[in-house]
Amino acid sequence: MKKYLLALSLASFCALPVFAKGNGGFSGPDNAGGFVGPNGSVTTVERAKTLRDDTWVTLHGNITQRISDDLYQFRDASGMVNVDIDDKYWRGQTISPQDVVEIQGEVDKDWNSVEIDVKQIIKKAR
């Protein structure tokens, strides 16, 4: 009987976030909304290349070409860097090389290369 009550208690506890979400409480990663506001200072490609691995960056510039599946070339006034953009982060946006975008993501340093692992991309108004 004690095991049954313990299992029932654990199941109830685990379900709390699910029930709370529908009532305006906890919101998990599947939520389409989130914080809107300043995301730290905007940096340049040149500066981003000097930052530590996993540093969060915000860049403004243009995606100039697709290199491979999720890999693109990004350019701003200071230089170029490869950016990795998973399909889910496009959010239905169509972006051309002429469009100015804001990308937010993490610096991803390997032994001899640097790229940005993009977590958000926003097409800026012209």
Half-sphere exposure of 79 (CA within 13 A, CB side): 12
User: Read out DSSP for 45-68?
Assistant: HHHHTTSPTT-EEEEEEEEEEE-S
Residue 25 located in a structural domain: no
Mean pLDDT, residues 70-84 taken together: 97
Classify residue 98: in a domain, yes or no: yes
Report how many domains make up the chain: 1
What is the mean predicted confidence (pLDDT) over 6-12?
52
For the chain, the average pLDDT equals 80
pLDDT of 31 over the 90 cut: no
Cα dihedral 21, 25, 27, 33 in deg (nearest 10): 110
Whole-prediction pTM: 0.69
Domain harbouring 109, CATH code: 2.40.50.200
103: pLDDT strictly greater than 80? yes
State residue 114 phi and psi, 5-degree precision.
-135, 135
Residue 23 lies in a domain: no
Confidence of residue 125 (pLDDT cuts 50, 70, 90): confident
Percent of the chain exceeding pLDDT 90 equals 64
Task: Establish if 90 belongs to a structural domain.
Answer: yes
Give the range of the structural domain holding residue 116, as residue numbers without chain letter. Answer: 45-123
Q: What is the pLDDT of residue 18?
A: 42
